[in-house]
């Protein structure tokens, strides 16, 4: 038995629960006397409600109440109460607040009944009259209205200041490429429908099983809006059926379930339908211009990247679309801009690699186009302009094994055999296209706390209020804790998804491994130190004259580092010390003095093969090789799944996904999984994930960089570039559907 | 006011509920009697009335496959069928796939190959795979890709799902020999 778990491919600790149906999601807590809520949504995009007639709905047997803005009881009126950790500047959406309609699909009533089917039926009987106002939902029509957001969402989201003179350098450049790249609205569409089961506890307290990426974020939201003392609200979410960013903010069903439970004094479940999921946030429609000037040999002389994305009328949603080229490529003349324009839609939300996935799509397609203009291999162009430091910040990288990513992925893919001419490679009736791109994402860390309780039977429970949305959080935290205290994996339990657990930020930005992992490591070290103090007091202690640094934990024992044969069982130490439990809580924060001098990023290189039917123009992504430099890999099995899944997401982004807006109605028409296409099994062939060795002592104590986003960054560009190589057709608006290849 | 079918109406709208009737479902080997309204789909009956929440609702329109269960051994979308239509049928849900503590080879292979992330589509994936394997329809990886395409996995675990089912096919093959 070895207890060195970090870096070892380990099956998910929650795997058995997930394959047997035992894992319970938000809508699956069947508490006694549960009432069911069904949401009625707005049929118009802009205007106001002039009349709501719920009399027919209320007359249906079994209907308990119909909640609207007219009859709901007091809720908070100030913007601040509705803000959350992932909010953008502005005035957050307030469900059932007043008669104003801000977007099609806005919740306007909640029908609560004794049975789900009754609520659903009665919801069809709620009659709403509107005063319709003219709306605008087309970003291309309001380009002139774009503005630089006055209040920044967070530091680093604004475009960096121009360097050199990009305009002038572009005009003088031997090779010029200037084009626009468009990305449509995309919806996260996690498989689990957003739902909340609000349990009215009878003593003024409320417990809500909810789908989210941050239990404490939702707890604060509900407490602030309804005026509950914080301790009277508990939000629980042990299993989350995917989110991809859509759970970073509290969604409106948690508000509705809490509202109904508080007013009816009973437990209420509210689930969204798949159609209603298209009334939640989304990746915004993003129009980008990339202009690159290069010398004869392809050396970059000018790089300009301008983005315009949509937001709502009530919040200035922002993400970092531009700036990436400044971190990735060596160029003295760079200029970036980022503007947003308001539409009558709900506010966009962070979707897997927000900013990075759209921005790098445009940058890496443009680099491919430039490679053809220069007449050099696309990989050579990247290597020629490889940046040894982040020019945006003027800082060296904490680590950057991108060269190794390029090399290893290219070798595995067989890139050297590529014939550059588009349409020059084929397999029977299919044209073969080979394309490549680069990926980059920030390696972030946030403050977080964790608790550890060790009992003398050798069982350890560690907890932190983060989430596992399929990312593998349960498993990697268990591995970190087990290795730190040298315990068998099965004796360690990690708890998350409960607002009563130690403080954690929302689970996003690929920061959870670094953030909560560092806290788990720290708290387990604290328990270890206590054990050490206890062990030193034992009779004839082998540790008596040593320091804590001289010991390590493995195989259930505390051992001398330089003589691992000498050790004492943890249980024995606790018995001698007269302790049945050892409990510690610790908070870890980023070491800013250490991190600040460095730029900290994860990198990747992606190589893609597509096969395009010569006549039908159907596209198959037959091979993806993606090499990732993501620091230390805690669990190669779940890590690979993260990258693989994100690459599948990129297939959707490149070839399938589009939330089509009917501009006449201001309404998303592809609002179901038959019309909003996502990759299915038959769309996916070989995906090869390589983790390049990368040591980083700067990013955090564990040396991990995070892997949730990197797999989707640049990958859609590699697919688009491969489609060009196959067909000679450059499609600059996603998704690349068959009709665009004729 | 009563109309011919005995349903209360207000204007043209029915305000009373459709009458319920008793049905028997043999679920995971056990007989379950339930009083059910005609408008209750099998999926909601399982999740809301029988507390068998392993079967998932992902779209309610037969577009995602998360609700797949086996009826008399065949995989179906439980969201596209009314519970009342299955009086007397044998229903196997994800809770009934393992034999006691012993996981089904497909379940075991899903864990080993990390064929899921969030786990929400997993019960449907496993029920589809078990049903297709039982029917002898899966012979090649391309069969798996094609026939498993009614089960969407938004986490994108498809290559691992294919690998897991291939392993289960082999273990079933060797068990049969």
Name the pLDDT band for B104 (thresholds 50, 70, 90).
Answer: very high
Question: Which ranges constitute the DSSP H helices of A433-501?
Answer: 473-484
Find the length of chain A.
742
**C-alpha distance from B166 to closest chain A C-alpha (Å):** 14
Task: Using CA coordinates, name the residue in chain A closest to B16.
Answer: A61
pLDDT tens-digit map of A654-670? 999 999 999 999 999 99
Q: What is the ipTM of this complex?
A: 0.97
Whether residues A241 and B120 touch (CB distance < 8 A) is answered with yes
* Residue at B124 is within a domain: yes
Banded model confidence at residue B13, pLDDT cuts 50, 70, 90: confident
Cβ–Cβ gap A681/B112 under 8 Å? no
Q: What is the pTM of this model?
A: 0.97
Which residue, among B119, B122, B151, B152, would best test binding to A if mutated, counting the most A CBs under 10 Å from its CB? Answer: B119
- Shortest distance between the Cα of A314 and any Cα of chain B, in A, equals 29
Nearest CA in chain A to B64: A673
Tell me how far apart the alpha carbons of residues A76 and A65 are, in angstroms, rounded to a whole number: 21
Tell me which of B47, B155, B166, B168 to substitute to probe the interface with A (most A C-beta atoms closer than 10 Å).
B155
Q: Per-residue pLDDT for B177 more than 80?
A: no
Residues 6+ apart with CB under 8 A from A99: A48, A49, A50, A69
The shortest CB-CB distance from B53 to any of A28, A118, A640 is to A28
Distance from CA of B176 to the nearest CA of A (A): 24
Indicate yes or no: CB of B152 within 8 angstroms of CB of A686.
no
Q: How far is CA B70 from CA B40, B62, B63, B91, B138, in A?
A: 18, 15, 17, 6, 16
Q: Compute CA distances A188 → A112, A432, A641, whole Å.
A: 27, 30, 18
Q: Do A20 and B107 touch (CB under 8 A)?
A: yes
Q: Tell me what the mean pLDDT of segment A721-738 comes to.
A: 98
Indicate the pLDDT class of residue B10, thresholds 50, 70 and 90.
low
| Host domain of residue B52 | 19-96
Does residue B12 sit within a domain? no
Quick check: is A56 catalytic? no
What CA–CA distance (Å, rounded) separates A285 from A321?
Answer: 12
Q: Where are the alpha helices (DSSP H) in A15-158?
A: 15-20, 55-59, 79-82, 116-123
Last residue of a domain, one of B54, B77, B96: B96
DSSP state of A108: E
Q: Is any Cβ of chain A less than 8 angstroms from the Cβ of B99?
A: no
B72 lies in the same domain as B113: no
* Facing residue for A117 by CB, picked from B37, B57, B148: B37
Instruction: Give A545's DSSP letter.
Output: T
Given a cut of 60, whether residue A649 has pLDDT beyond it is: yes
What are the tens digits of pLDDT across the range A187-244?
999 999 999 999 999 899 999 999 999 999 999 999 999 999 999 999 999 999 999 9
Q: Do A681 and B149 touch (CB under 8 A)?
A: yes
* Strand ranges (E), A55-120: 63-67, 100-101, 107-113
Orientation angle between helical segments B105-112 and B122-134, nearest 10 degrees: 130
Do residues B128 and A41 lie in contact, with contact meaning Cβ atoms separated by under 8 Å? Answer: no
Question: Nearest Cβ partner of A684 from B52, B63, B159?
Answer: B159
Residue B69, chain A, CB below 8 Å: the answer is no
Q: In this structure, is residue B82 part of a structural domain?
A: yes
Put simply, the answer to whether A61 touches B16 (Cβ < 8 Å) is: yes
Mark whether B79 and B116 lie in a shared domain: no
- In a domain, residue B4? The reply is no
Fold of the CATH domain A144-186+282-444+596-741: Aldehyde Oxidoreductase; domain 4 (3.30.365)
Q: Do both B140 and B83 map to the same domain?
A: no
**pLDDT at B174 (0 to 100):** 59
Size of interface A-B (CB pairs under 8 A): 199
From the candidates B80, B103, B154, B165, which should be mutated to test the interface with A, based on the most A CB atoms within 10 A? B154
Which residues in chain A have Cβ-Cβ distances shorter than 8 Å to B112?
Answer: 11
Q: How many CB atoms lie within 10 A of CB A419?
A: 11
Question: Are B148 and B90 members of one domain?
Answer: no
From A186, A442, A657, A709, the catalytic residue? A709
| CA atoms of A120 and A111, how far apart (whole Å) | 8
Same domain, B40 and B63: yes
Distance CA A384, CA A405 (A): 15
pLDDT at B141 over 60: yes
Q: Do B59 and A672 touch (CB under 8 A)?
A: yes
Check: CB of residue A710 under 8 Å from CB of residue A643: yes
Chain B positions touching A115 (Cβ under 8 A) are 37, 48
In a domain, B153, yes or no: yes
Query: Mind listing the pLDDT tens digit for each residue in A322-367?
Result: 999 999 999 999 999 999 999 999 999 999 999 999 999 999 999 9
Residue A315 has pLDDT above 80, yes or no: yes
> What is the per-residue pLDDT across A410-451, written as a single tens digit (0 to 9) for each?
999 999 999 999 999 999 999 999 999 999 999 999 999 999
Q: What is the mean pLDDT of chain A?
A: 97
Closest chain B residue to A269, measured at CA = B48
Judge whether B155 lies within some domain: yes
- Res A705: pLDDT: 98
What contacts A389, CB < 8 A, 6 or more positions away? Answer: A395, A396, A397, A599
Q: Is residue B136 part of a domain?
A: yes
Residues B171 and B151 in one domain: yes
Domain boundaries, given as residue ranges, for chain A? 15-21+446-589, 31-134+190-273, 144-186+282-444+596-741
Nearest partner of A186 among A739, A733, A742, judged by Cα: A733
Fold of A31-134+190-273: Aldehyde Oxidoreductase; domain 3 (3.90.1170)
When divided into structural domains, chain B yields a total of 2
| Closest chain B residue to the Cα of A240, Cα to Cα | B118
Cβ–Cβ below 8 Å for A23 and B154: no
For the stretch A609-648, pLDDT in tens is: 999 999 999 999 999 999 999 999 999 999 999 999 999 9
Q: Which residues pair with B29 in a beta bridge?
A: none
Domain ends where: B46, B66, B96?
A: B96
Distances (CA, A) of A64 to A113, A195, A382, B151: 5, 19, 63, 36
Q: Is the pLDDT at B9 greater than 50, yes or no?
A: yes
Cβ contact A183:A363 at 8 Å: no
Q: Which residue of B has its CA nearest to A115?
A: B48
Query: How far away is chain A from the Cα of B91, in angstroms, using its nearest Cα?
Result: 15
CA dist., res. A243 & res. A466, Å (int):
14
Write out pLDDT tens, residues A75-100: 999 999 999 999 999 999 999 999 99
- Nearest Cα residue in chain A from B38: A117
Residue owning tokens 């209360």: B8
Q: Do A641 and B162 touch (CB under 8 A)?
A: no
> pLDDT averaged over chain B?
92
Report the alpha-carbon distance of residue A262 to residue A268 in Å, rounded: 9
Q: Is A296 left (phi over 0), alpha (psi -120 to 50) or beta?
A: alpha
Residues B26 and B76 reside in one and the same domain: yes
pLDDT at position B4 over 50 = no
Q: What's the average model confidence in pLDDT over B96-105?
A: 96
Where does a domain end: B57, B79, B96? B96
Environment class of B8 (CB within 10 Å of its CB; exposed 0-12, middle 13-18, buried 19+): middle
Asked if B118 reaches chain A (Cβ–Cβ under 8 Å), the answer is yes
pLDDT digits (tens, 9 = 90+) for B42-94: 999 999 999 999 999 999 999 999 999 999 999 999 999 999 999 999 999 99
pLDDT above 60: residue A31: yes
| C-alpha distance from residue A443 to each of A341, A517, A703, B140 (Å) | 29, 14, 10, 41
CATH number for the domain spanning B154: value is: 1.10.150.120
* Closest residue on chain B to A190 (Cα): B154
Q: On the CB side of B104, how many CA atoms lie within 13 Å of its CA?
A: 24
Decide whether A15-21+446-589 matches A144-186+282-444+596-741 in CATH topology.
Answer: yes
Residue closest to B136 by CA, chosen among B96, B108, B176: B176
B142 and B120 assigned to the same domain: yes
Mean local confidence (pLDDT), B122-150: 97
- CATH number of A15-21+446-589, picked from 1.10.3720.10, 3.30.830.10, 3.10.105.10, 3.30.365.10: 3.30.365.10
Q: How many CB atoms lie within 10 A of CB A363?
A: 27
- Asked if pLDDT for residue A564 goes beyond 90, the answer is no
Contacts of B153 in chain A (CB under 8 A): 191, 681
Residues B83, B38 share a domain: yes
Residue B2 located in a structural domain: no
Q: Return the percentage of chain A with pLDDT > 70, whole number.
A: 100
Residues A363-398 have pLDDT tens digits of 999 999 999 999 999 999 999 999 999 999 999 999
Residue A303, beta-bridge partner list:
A292, A334
Q: Report the CATH number that the domain containing residue B41 is assigned in CATH.
A: 3.10.20.30
- Do the chains contact at A16 and B117, CB–CB below 8 Å? no
The pLDDT-based confidence of A157 (bands split at 50, 70, 90) is confident
Please tell me the distance in Å from B105's CA to the nearest CA on chain A.
11
Spatial distance between the Cα atoms of B92 and B160, rounded to a whole number of angstroms: 24
* Interchain contact B38–A (C-beta under 8 A): no
B119 in the same domain as B78:
no
pLDDT at position B160 over 80 = yes
B132 shares its domain with B63: no
CB contact under 8 A, A239 and B119: yes
- For residue B112, give the H/E element and its range: helix B105-112
């Amino acid at each position: 038995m070895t207890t060195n778990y970090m870096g070892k491919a380990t099956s998910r600790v929650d795997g058995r629960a997930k394959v047997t149906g035992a894992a319970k999601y938000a809508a699956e807590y069947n508490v006694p006397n549960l009432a069911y809520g069904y949401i009625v949504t707005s049929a118009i995009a802009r205007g106001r409600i002039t009349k709501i007639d719920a009399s027919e709905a209320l007359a249906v047997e079994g209907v308990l109440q119909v909640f609207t803005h007219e009859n709901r009881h007091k809720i908070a009126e100030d913007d601040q109460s509705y803000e959350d950790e992932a909010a953008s500047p502005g005035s957050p959406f307030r469900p059932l607040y007043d008669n104003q309609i801000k977007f099609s699909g806005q919740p306007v009533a909640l029908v609560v009944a004794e049975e789900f089917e009754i609520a659903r039926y009665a919801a069809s009987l709620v009659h709403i009259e509107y005063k319709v106002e003219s709306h605008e939902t087309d970003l291309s029509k309001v380009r002139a209205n774009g503005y630089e957001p006055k209040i920044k969402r967070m530091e680093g989201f604004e475009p960096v200041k121009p360097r050199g003179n990009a305009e002038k350098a572009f005009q003088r450049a031997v090779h010029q490429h200037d084009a626009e790249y468009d990305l449509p609205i995309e919806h996260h569409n996690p498989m689990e429908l957003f739902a909340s089961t609000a349990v009215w506890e009878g003593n003024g307290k409320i417990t809500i099983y909810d789908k989210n990426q941050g239990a404490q974020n939702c707890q604060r939201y509900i407490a602030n809006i309804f005026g509950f003392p914080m301790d009277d609200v508990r939000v629980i979410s042990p299993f989350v059926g995917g989110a991809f960013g859509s759970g970073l903010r509290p969604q409106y069903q948690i508000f509705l379930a809490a509202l109904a439970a508080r007013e009816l004094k009973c437990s209420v479940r509210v689930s969204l339908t798949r159609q209603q999921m298209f009334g939640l946030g989304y990746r915004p429609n993003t129009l980008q211009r990339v202009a690159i000037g290069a010398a004869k040999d392809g050396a970059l002389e000018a790089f300009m990247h301008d983005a315009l994305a949509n937001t709502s009328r009530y919040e200035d949603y922002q993400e970092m679309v531009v700036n990436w080229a400044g971190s990735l490529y060596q160029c003295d003349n760079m200029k970036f801009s980022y503007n947003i324009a308001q539409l009558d839609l709900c506010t966009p939300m962070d979707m897997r690699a927000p900013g990075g996935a759209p921005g790098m799509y445009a940058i890496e397609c443009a680099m491919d186009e430039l490679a053809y203009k220069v007449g050099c291999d696309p990989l050579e162009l990247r290597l020629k302009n490889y940046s040894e430091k982040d020019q945006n910040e003027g800082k060296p990288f904490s680590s950057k094994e991108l060269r190794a990513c390029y090399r290893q992925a290219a070798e595995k893919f067989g890139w050297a055999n590529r014939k550059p001419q588009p349409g020059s490679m084929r397999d029977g009736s299919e044209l073969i296209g080979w394309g490549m791109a680069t990926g980059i994402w920030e390696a972030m860390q946030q403050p977080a706390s964790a608790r550890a309780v060790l009992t003398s039977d050798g069982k350890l429970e560690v907890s932190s209020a983060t989430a596992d949305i399929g990312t593998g959080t349960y498993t990697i935290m268990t591995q970190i804790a087990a290795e730190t205290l040298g315990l068998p994996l099965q004796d360690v339990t990690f708890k998350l998804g409960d607002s009563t657990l130690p403080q954690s930020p929302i689970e996003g930005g690929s920061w959870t491994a670094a953030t909560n992992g560092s806290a788990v490591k720290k708290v387990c070290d604290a328990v270890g130190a206590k054990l050490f103090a206890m062990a030193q007091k034992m009779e004839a202690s082998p540790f008596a004259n040593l320091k804590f640094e001289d010991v390590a934990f493995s195989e259930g024992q505390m051992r001398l580092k330089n003589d691992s044969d000498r050790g004492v069982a943890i249980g024995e130490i606790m018995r001698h010390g007269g302790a049945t439990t050892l409990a510690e809580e610790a908070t870890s924060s980023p070491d800013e003095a250490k991190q600040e001098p460095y730029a900290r990023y994860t990198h990747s290189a992606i190589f893609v093969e597509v096969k395009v039917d010569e006549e039908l123009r159907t596209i198959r992504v037959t091979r993806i090789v993606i090499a990732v430099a993501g620091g230390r890999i805690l669990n190669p099995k779940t890590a690979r799944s993260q990258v693989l899944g994100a690459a599948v997401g990129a297939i959707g982004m490149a070839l399938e996904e589009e939330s089509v807006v009917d501009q006449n109605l201001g309404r998303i028409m592809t609002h179901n999984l038959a019309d909003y296409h996502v990759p299915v099994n038959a769309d996916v062939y070989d995906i090869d994930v390589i983790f390049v060795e990368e040591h980083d002592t700067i990013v955090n104590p564990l040396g991990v960089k995070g892997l949730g986003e990197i797999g989707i960054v640049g990958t859609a560009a590699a697919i688009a570039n491969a489609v060009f190589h196959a067909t000679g057709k450059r499609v600059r608006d996603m998704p690349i559907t068959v009709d665009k290849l004729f | 006011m009563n109309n011919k079918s005995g349903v209360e109406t207000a204007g043209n709208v029915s305000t009373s509920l459709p009458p319920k009737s008793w049905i028997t479902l043999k679920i995971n080997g056990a007989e379950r009697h339930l009083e059910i309204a005609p408008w209750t789909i099998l999926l909601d009956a399982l999740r809301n009335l029988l507390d068998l929440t392993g079967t998932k609702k992902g779209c309610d329109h037969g577009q995602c496959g998360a609700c797949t269960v086996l009826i008399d051994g065949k995989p179906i979308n439980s969201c596209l069928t009314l519970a009342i239509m299955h009086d007397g049928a044998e229903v196997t849900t994800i809770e009934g796939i393992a034999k006691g503590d012993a996981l089904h080879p497909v379940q075991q292979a899903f864990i080993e190959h990390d064929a899921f992330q969030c786990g929400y589509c997993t019960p449907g994936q496993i029920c589809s795979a078990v049903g297709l394997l039982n029917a002898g329809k899966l012979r090649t990886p391309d069969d798996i890709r094609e026939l498993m395409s009614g089960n969407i996995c938004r986490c994108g675990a498809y290559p691992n799902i294919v690998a897991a089912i291939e392993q289960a096919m082999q273990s079933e093959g060797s068990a049969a020999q």
